Structures are given as C-alpha cells and as structure tokens.
Structure 1
Amino acid sequence: MVKMIFVNLPVAELARARAFYEALGFVNNAQFSDEGSACMVWSEAIHVMLLTHAKWQGFTSRPIPPAGMSEVMLAVSCESREAVDRMNEAAASHGGTADVNPQQDLGFLFNRSLADPDGHVWEAVWMDPAAIPAG
C-alpha cells in the first residue's frame, strides 16, 4: 500500500472551503465526501479532509483553535516559481489571504504562505535540489 497523508481541517462553511481548495488546484474525491465533509486531493499521496465543525467534533473533543491562531503550517510542493505565485493569487481571489508570512527566496528555494478562509496556513514551495549550495 502507498503511504498517504490525510490532513483533517475543521471548516465553518464546507461549500466555501471546497470552492477555495478547488481554485488552488485540489480535486474533490466524491467517494470520500458527504454533506459534512469533502475529500480534496492534491496528489496521489496527499489528501485534505475538509470537515464541518459538527463532523470535526465527532472525531475529537478538543476545541477548534480560535481565529487568528495557527495550529500547524502545511507545505505543498509546486512545479515552478510561477505556480507558487499562481497559488497565492488564487488564494487571494477566492476568499483566502495571500502572503500571511514574508515570502522566502533563496534562489534554489522559493515559497509563499497563504491562509484559507478558515485561517489554515499553507506554504506553496518550489525547490531546485540541484541548485542547493554545497556545504
């Protein structure tokens, strides 16, 4: 079996969250989606489960962090610097926030952070391992 990761995120409005992630390039997997959740696929190995607050609370009694708090920052790789820029632009134009942290450009690595409409922070990252300085 291929090792996979399923990132579970509580969302206030499922339809809004699903539309946001689709705008970033995620694809909905209807097989694992229902009225309380949407399975959004980034790659064969990376899936994001968007869960309504009610569905989330069925999995844990721990509270959902208040707005403005960060519980985790998730990074996904992009195929180019331009794809990193496009993801940030899509976030800003679909209800999220672009550049919630300063962008980082090390030449061989370029990343920009964004937040979804519920405040979950993501980093879009491009890296050229062959260009990493020796030492």
Structure 2
Amino acid sequence: MPTKVFINLPVKNLVKSIAFFQNLGFSFNPQFTDEKAGCMIVSESIFVMLLTESYFKSFIDTEVCDAHRETEVLIALDASSADEVKQFISKAESIGGRIYTEPKDDGFMYQHSFADLDGHKWEMAYVDMSQFPQS
C-alpha cells in the first residue's frame, strides 16, 4: 500500500502561490521546489505539488481545468478545533483566498471552505468524535 500522498495542482504563478501557502503556515521542501514546482508539506505523508501549468500539462493528456469555473477537486484538511478552522479561513481570505460557502456547524463537525489564488477549493474541518451522533 502507498505510504505517501502527493496532490498535484496546476498554478498560474508559482511564486505567488508558494507565498500564499507560506502565509497560511505551510512550509516547502527545497529538494523538490524549483522554478517549475513547489513541494508543500501538509504532514509527514501528505504533500501538495504546486506545478506551473506548462509543467503540469507534461503529465496529462487533456486540457488543464480552469478551477475558477469548474471544480476538479475538493481538498479537505482536518483541524484541531473550530477556532483553528475560523482563524485559518479568515487568514486565507485576508491574503487573497475567496470564501465560496458559508461555514457549516453540525454540532459534532465544524467546517468552512475557501478557494486559493488559482481557484482550487480547500475545506478545513474540525470533528469532535465525542459529539458524533450515535446510531
């Protein structure tokens, strides 16, 4: 079974995209970051490869999706609290991210979402399993 996850996303401006995610608190692996790609570290086993559109195209046989008009993926990340979700989304919006849904509070789960500079959709969620409905 695979032990690592690499999510590959096309970006129009790699420098701006890296700065956006660094401002959200993510770091980048310099071994896999150059003028064509940035390797964003989400966890010890999850990475997001921000690839220039031309480099991204070298891996596919179709057109690159315009994530501002169509949704090709929804990336969901967990948080340690509802407050962390609120702070993260607020920061994303303050540095150029776009809020595209209202926050949802289901009692046991709090989630909110934003789109990054290239329109890729990100969701942040806190789940309190002690409050999860029993069946």
Indicate conservation of the 8 Å contact 1:103/1:112, yes or no: yes
After superposition, residues 1-135 of structure 1 pair within 5 angstroms as: 3-66=3-66, 67-98=68-99, 100-135=100-135
- C-alpha distance after superposition, 1:68-112 (max 9, x if no partner): 2101111000111111011111111112112x1232101110000
1:62 CA drift (Å): 1.4
- Say which structure is richer in strand: 1
Given the two structures, how large is their TM-score scaled by the length of structure 2? 0.93
1:36 CA drift (Å): 0.5
Calculate the aligned-residue CA RMSD, in Å: 1.4
Q: Unpaired segments of 5 or more residues in structure 1?
A: none
1:2 CA drift (Å): 7.1
Indicate conservation of the 8 Å contact 1:25/1:42, yes or no: no
Secondary structure class of the residue paired with 1:111:
strand
Secondary structure class of the residue paired with 1:117:
coil
Indicate conservation of the 8 Å contact 1:2/1:45, yes or no: no
Given the two structures, how large is their TM-score scaled by the length of structure 1? 0.93
The runs of at least 4 aligned residues of structure 1 exceeding 3 Å deviation read none
Q: Unpaired segments of 5 or more residues in structure 2?
A: none
Measured in 2, the distance between the counterparts of 1:72 and 1:102 equals 19
Measured in 1, the distance between the counterparts of 2:86 and 2:2 equals 30
Identity score, percent:
37
Indicate conservation of the 8 Å contact 1:88/1:114, yes or no: yes
- 1:83 alignment partner AA: E
Deviates more, 1:83-92 or 1:58-67: 58-67
